[in-house]
Amino acid sequence: MTEVVESKQDRIARRQIDKFEARRTELAVATLHTLAELGYARTSLREIAQKSEFSHGVLHYYFADKRDLITHAVRQYEAVCVTRYDEAVASATSAEELKCEFVGMFFATLKADAPLHRLWYDLRNQSLFEESFREDVLEIDEHRQAMIWRVVSRYAELAGGEPATSPAAGYVMLDGIFQRALLHSLSGMDSSVGELEQELDHVLDLLVTAS
């Protein structure tokens, strides 16, 4: 009898935890664009509350501080983003097709979701100063690296070659292009962004060696 009662109590406790986490995710997603607009340095739970439909008390109940909220929000966004190229990887039947799809999507998401990408780089920069961010940032970075490597390795396979670099080096090269293009896009330097788009086409070939 005691075991049955404990089992019911465990289920109730788990449901309460699940509901709490679900609410945290809901709030994080709902405030994501506000976070992206303000950035880390100018953000507090109170400021986020003022720019959203949620009260400061509600946000403070579900999140210990702005670090907790920002990390959770970026995690939710990245969980979707790290699969953005998977369909192109799976459906491409030639190296040229995959390259065109990848380059197009690479710069399309940069323009469409610039504030959200800016928030990610803001969080990553903050992790250099605040140790509490590092574990989350490193984990997200690993997922982003894996996303890029799926593209590079499949492109090499379709081209009949082999990757010419490690997953880490390939990611750093392409992420560097993305971050620079994002900065130039936010600065209104459209011609520079166009040049980087053309460069990406060539860089992808540099990441592959002929067999």
Count of other CB atoms within 10 angstroms of residue 138 = 11
Average pLDDT over residues 136-140: 93
Reported confidence tier of residue 101, pLDDT bands at 50, 70, 90: very high
* Interstrand relation of 208-210 and 161-163 (parallel, antiparallel or unpaired): antiparallel
Level-2 CATH architecture, domain 2-210: Orthogonal Bundle (1.10)
| pLDDT at position 46 over 90 | no
Mean pLDDT of 161-165: 95
Share of the chain above pLDDT 70, in %: 91
pLDDT tier, 143 (very low <50, low <70, confident <90, very high otherwise): very high
* Of 6-15, 23-32, 143-152, 191-200, minimum mean pLDDT range: 6-15
For residue 113, is pLDDT > 80?
yes
Domain ranges across the chain: 2-210
The pLDDT assigned to 41 comes to 82
Mean pLDDT across the chain, nearest whole number? 89
Q: Find all residues with CB under 8 Å of 135, minimum gap 6, and list them.
A: none
| pLDDT at site 28 | 87
Q: What is the pLDDT of residues 167-210, one digit of tens each?
A: 999 999 999 999 999 999 999 999 999 999 999 999 999 999 97
Q: Mean of the pLDDT values across residues 85-92?
A: 95
Q: How far apart are CA 177 and CA 21, in angstroms?
A: 35
pLDDT of residue 29: 84
- More confident position, 85 or 37: 85
pLDDT at res. 10: 62
CA distances from 17 to 8, 65, 169 (A): 14, 19, 40
Distance of alpha carbon 95 from alpha carbon 104, whole angstroms: 14
